[in-house]
């Protein structure tokens, strides 16, 4: 499915946006109908306006007031309530972000229909002036790609299928592809990716996409744990239910890479995507609690919990990325439950040592309706990831500051890159919200889309 706008205002129905005060230009019959049907202007409320013959002539959509304005994509509530057809906004009240309204409308068209018939909103909006329609469509297509990948269960989205999805993105967007798989990971010095994934039903692999040979360099590393049982430190059943989404970092960097190309933000860049794709499974050759693994960087890691595997596979991929000394190295991963405890499912934390860059990323997230929140690389916690018999501990005891200690762990493997940012995303919408169906969701990608040009200037 592809998000789309209606072609033009010709033969489209008009929409008046209103709070409790009905807008000027609405005729007396429409005003009387709105009053008679109890239209109050609540955010997302829809009042279809009939003509004298009973046919629809337009609609009123409530924009709410006060706290209603704080809900992202509030107008997208109305998209699913309107009949199929083309619609245009006739009246824009002050303070309404036209691009946000249009983008939310595009997102409302999404439905995951791989396993059963499902449809998103059928009403199509004419792109409002001055919204950049091609850019909004590119952002929505990126989001749809990420959602589809996350929503697909592990029996159809194992490392093989994730590689196929990456190859498809590469083919459509001008990337070259290189994949190192199975025991070749050991031959090419990716020991921790191999250790985590060797017990899986499908071979572990490192997927590499590259585009461009001149200009500033950006490397995106996405965690591709296609299913996470927790390994020998097995998760409880309830905690495994959403583990198809543990490749959400990989899904997000693929969506981001596609979006950078589609919006021409990748032009003049050397753009690289690295995805360590594995299953964290249980078998006789699974890695064990207490094992000490050697990383590509040469640092040794004591495994105190096999369920903290994401940072292990990311570490090898990041060390490989850092060897090329990119201007920016960015990791994205569904990494810790601690991040969700701290900030909830809707606000992913990110880590960055550069104050100006972090401020730009956070501002861009707000500008493009993709909020993120900066957290600190709190160096006094370094001692928590130093186990004594190895260089690093993958799962420090005590359970405190879990997102921060994971970020500190990863930063060791970013040494050599110009600058580094890490996003600890959730990748899941627990319950439906305007423009966001329950299920997989993209986080952090638009924040980076808007910020990257300035970060590379």
Q: Is the distance from CB of 410 to CB of 321 less than 8 angstroms? A: no
Count CB neighbours of 171 within 10 A.
10
Q: Work out whether the CA dihedral 357, 444, 311, 144 comes out positive or negative.
A: negative
Q: CA-to-CA distance for 384 and 399, rounded, in angstroms?
A: 10
The separation between CA 32 and the C-alpha centre of its own chain, rounded to angstroms, equals 44
Catalytic residue among 297, 311, 340, 446: 311
Among 161, 5, 194, which Cα is nearest to 86's? 5
Please say if 241 is a catalytic residue.
no
Please say if 288 is a catalytic residue.
no
CA dist 252 → 112, 117, 262, 277, 341 (Å): 17, 25, 15, 14, 21
Count CB neighbours of 105 within 10 A.
29
Among 444, 457, 302, 303, which Cα is nearest to 368's? 444
> Angle of helix 133-151 relative to helix 159-173, nearest 10 degrees?
160
Q: CA-to-CA distance for 106 and 122, rounded, in angstroms?
A: 10
CA dist 374 → 54, 352, 360, 452 (Å): 53, 7, 11, 16
Taking the CA atoms of residue 268, residue 165, residue 297 and residue 303 in that order, the dihedral angle to the nearest 10 degrees is 150
In sequence order, what DSSP letters do the residues of 186-241 get, joined into one string?
A: HHTT-HHHHHHHTTSSS--EEEEEEE-SSS-EEEEEE-EEEEE--TTSPPPHHHHT
Q: CA-to-CA distance for 440 and 345, rounded, in angstroms?
A: 11
The separation between CA 39 and the C-alpha centre of its own chain, rounded to angstroms, equals 36
Catalytic residue among 235, 294, 363, 419: 235
Rg (CA), the chain: 24
Among 70, 43, 222, 89, which Cα is nearest to 150's? 222
Q: Is the distance from CB of 31 to CB of 105 less than 8 angstroms? A: no
Which residues are catalytically annotated?
A: 235, 311
């Amino acid at each position: 499915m592809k998000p789309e706008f209606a072609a033009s205002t010709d033969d489209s129905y008009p929409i008046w946006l209103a709070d409790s005060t009905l807008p000027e230009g609405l005729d007396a019959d429409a005003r009387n109908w709105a009053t008679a049907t109890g239209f109050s202007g609540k955010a997302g409320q829809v009042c279809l306006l009939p003509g004298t013959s009973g046919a629809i002539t337009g609609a009123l959509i409530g924009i709410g007031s006060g706290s209603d304005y704080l809900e992202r994509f509030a107008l997208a509530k109305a998209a699913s309530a309107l009949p199929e057809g083309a619609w245009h906004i006739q009246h824009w009240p002050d303070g309404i972000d036209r691009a946000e309204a249009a983008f939310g409308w595009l997102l409302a068209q999404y439905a995951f229909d791989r396993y059963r018939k499902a449809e998103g909103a059928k009403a199509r909006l004419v792109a409002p002036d001055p919204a950049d329609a091609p850019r909004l469509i590119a952002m929505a297509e990126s989001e749809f790609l990420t959602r589809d990948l996350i929503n697909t269960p592990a029996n159809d989205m194992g490392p093989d299928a994730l590689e196929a999805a990456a190859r498809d993105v590469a083919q459509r967007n001008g990337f070259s592809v290189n994949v190192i798989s199975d025991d070749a990971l050991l031959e090419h010095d990716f020991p921790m990716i191999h250790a985590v994934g060797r017990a899986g039903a499908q071979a572990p692999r490192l997927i590499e996409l590259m585009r461009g040979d001149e200009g500033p360099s950006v490397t995106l590393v996405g965690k591709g744990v296609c299913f996470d049982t927790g390994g020998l430190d097995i998760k409880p059943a309830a905690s495994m239910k959403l583990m198809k989404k543990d490749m959400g970092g990989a899904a997000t960097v693929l969506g981001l890479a596609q979006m950078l190309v589609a919006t021409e933000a990748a032009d003049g860049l050397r753009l690289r995507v690295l995805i360590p794709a594995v299953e964290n499974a249980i078998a006789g050759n699974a890695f064990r609690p207490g094992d000490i693994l050697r990383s590509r960087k040469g640092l040794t890691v004591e495994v105190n919990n096999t369920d903290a595997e994401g940072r292990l596979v990311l570490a090898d991929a990041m060390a490989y990325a850092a060897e090329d000394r990119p201007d920016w190295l960015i990791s994205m991963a569904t990494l810790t439950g601690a991040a969700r405890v701290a900030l909830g499912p809707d606000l992913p934390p990110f880590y960055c040592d550069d104050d100006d860059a972090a401020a730009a990323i956070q501002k861009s997230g707000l500008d493009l309706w993709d909020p993120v929140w900066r957290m600190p690389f709190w160096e006094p916690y370094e001692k928590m990831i130093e186990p004594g018999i190895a260089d690093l501990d993958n799962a420090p005891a005590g359970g405190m500051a879990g997102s921060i200690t994971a970020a500190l762990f990863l930063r060791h493997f970013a040494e050599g890159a110009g600058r580094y940012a890490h996003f600890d995303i959730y990748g899941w919408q627990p319950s439906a919200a305007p423009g966001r169906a329950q299920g997989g969701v993209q986080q952090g990608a638009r924040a980076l889309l808007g910020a990257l040009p300035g970060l590379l200037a």
